[in-house]
Amino acid sequence: MTNVTASTKQLGDLRLDEYLLTLPLVWGEDVDDRTIDVFARVITRPGGDELPYLVFLQGGPGCEAPRPSFAPRNPSWLDAALADYRVVMLDQRGTGLSTPVSDHDLARGDDELAEYLTHLRADSIVRDCEAVREHLGVAQWSVLGQSFGGFTTLHYLSRYADSLREVYFTGGLSAVGRHCDDVYRTCYDQMRTISERYYRRFPEDREVIRGLVDAARNGEIVLPDGEVVSASRLRSIGHLLGGQDGWQRVHELCELDHRSNAFRYDLAQMLPFGGRNPLYYVIHESSYSDGCVTNWSAERTMPQDFVDDVTLLTGEHVRREWCDTVPAFKPWKGVAERMAQVEWPTLYDADAIRASGVRGAAAVYANDAYVPLSYSLETAELLPNVDLYVTSEYEHGGLRASGGKVLQKLIDLVHDRTVR
């Protein structure tokens, strides 16, 4: 770390202490003098100066932490957290107010940029967390990991468990020691179940989706940015079925004429992966690589019935062809192809996780479309001191959608309080 810039702001009743740390791009490499900035915001409520720290690790990869607001309170779980903690919002490297990855980085060239992106994964994010923790002068802090943030927390337990006081997972118990192909096959199984459940609710929409796929194949669906929507891109609206009210949004889209502005603009807002956060697309599959080459895993593992039945919707499954059809991704094609061939190092150490002994709690969603239930329960066996809250009441985004109820339950479990 070469320097730290600090400032303080007031947001309603909350104090925001903000830090910009200049850190090594490549941790553990004394011969590599490249640096990267990492931004952290500490949120403290009145009278909370002596509370322990809770660092929030956002889902993604490639997405910054949520921005706090006063009225209405954002994120919705913030008050639940602030009752027991000072909350640290970290913009993971490559996002937000940390050194961002954007289209201007394409000037580096595909090879150089791809190498740079290999240093933006969970292992490097954990080292950044350690630097922030040390700067704050605390021996231990707690971590709340949402989705990919939970994956990152598992790596934290694999390497620096002594730094962790408590751990909370919300939809973030990733598979440990599994090939990414196994994970994506299981995600397809879940999407098959979710798709069929949707059509039982709205049976008329099955033929609507079939017609929309035909329209996409004929080049008839064009988004406001000029993207000619491919059939695979259209089917990816299934990712919404993994959210609390996503089924309603899909159904409302099916009611619209695909030639209308309403359809085109609504679809543009509903599709996963976009130009605002190119990292989310370009390094997405690396988040499930516990020591393997991804090689477009989601595309390669698509089951035959998904090939045959175009009404089966897909979820968080990236496709190589989008580099040719999505305007925002076309400049990233060479980088994306290189990232798909990276031999990623192992992220998790099952023995270290099992031996960590860190107290915690995990929300595991029975119908999770993104993080398979079977693997979450398998990983939970490595964490005997982490209490499980398995629920079908909420979907993958339950942390946000529950208005703080999910987090409150987890905190109460860890603190041995009567669950509110």
Query: What is the average pLDDT across 369-373?
Result: 94
Query: What is the average pLDDT across 223-231?
Result: 97
CA distance linking residue 255 with residue 253, whole number of Å = 5
Query: What is the average pLDDT across 95-99?
Result: 97
Output the pTM of the full model. 0.95
pLDDT digits 0-9 by tens, 53-69? 999 999 999 999 999 99
pLDDT, position 31: 84
End-to-end CA distance of the chain: 42
pLDDT, position 23: 97
Query: Edge-to-edge strands of the sheet including 3-11?
Result: 3-11, 14-24, 35-44, 86-91, 53-57, 141-146, 164-170, 359-365, 386-391
What amino acid is encoded at 376 in this protein?
S
Q: Take residue 314 and report the two structure tokens written for it.
A: 């897909």
User: Among 85, 89, 61, 62, which residue's Cα sits nearest to residue 75?
Assistant: 89
CA distance linking residue 307 with residue 311, whole number of Å = 10
pLDDT grade, residue 72 (50/70/90)? confident
pLDDT digits 0-9 by tens, 39-55? 999 999 999 999 999 99
The CATH T-level fold of domain 3-177+346-414 is Rossmann fold (3.40.50)
CA distance linking residue 190 with residue 394, whole number of Å = 16
The Cα-based distances of 160 to 28, 152, 198, 383, 415 in angstroms read 15, 12, 42, 15, 22
Measured from the Cβ of residue 107, the count of other Cβ atoms closer than 10 Å reads 8
pLDDT, position 102: 96
Q: Take residue 179 and report the two structure tokens written for it.
A: 């090939």
- Percent of the chain scoring above 90 in pLDDT: 95
CA distance linking residue 55 with residue 22, whole number of Å = 19
- Percent of the chain scoring above 70 in pLDDT: 99
Average pLDDT taken over every residue of the chain: 96
pLDDT at 29 over 90: no
Measured from the Cβ of residue 5, the count of other Cβ atoms closer than 10 Å reads 11
pLDDT, position 417: 81
pLDDT, position 286: 95
pLDDT digits 0-9 by tens, 249-301? 999 999 999 999 999 999 999 999 999 999 999 999 999 999 999 999 999 99
pLDDT at 355 over 80: yes
| Alpha helix segments (H runs only) across 236-332 | 246-254, 261-270, 278-282, 297-300, 304-308, 322-325
Measured from the Cβ of residue 65, the count of other Cβ atoms closer than 10 Å reads 25
User: Among 55, 57, 224, which residue's Cα sits nearest to residue 133?
Assistant: 55
Measured from the Cβ of residue 390, the count of other Cβ atoms closer than 10 Å reads 13
pLDDT digits 0-9 by tens, 103-113? 999 999 999 99
The Cα-based distances of 103 to 50, 54, 60, 100, 274 in angstroms read 42, 33, 18, 10, 12
Q: Take residue 11 and report the two structure tokens written for it.
A: 């947001």
Contact between 62 and 285 (Cβ < 8 Å): no
Identify the DSSP state of 66: P
pLDDT, position 70: 80
pLDDT digits 0-9 by tens, 126-162? 999 999 999 999 999 999 999 999 999 999 999 999 9
pLDDT, position 324: 97
Question: Is cis: bond before 272, omega within 30 of 0?
Answer: no
pLDDT digits 0-9 by tens, 294-333? 999 999 999 999 999 999 999 999 999 999 999 999 999 9
CA 399, 402, 406, 412 dihedral sign is positive
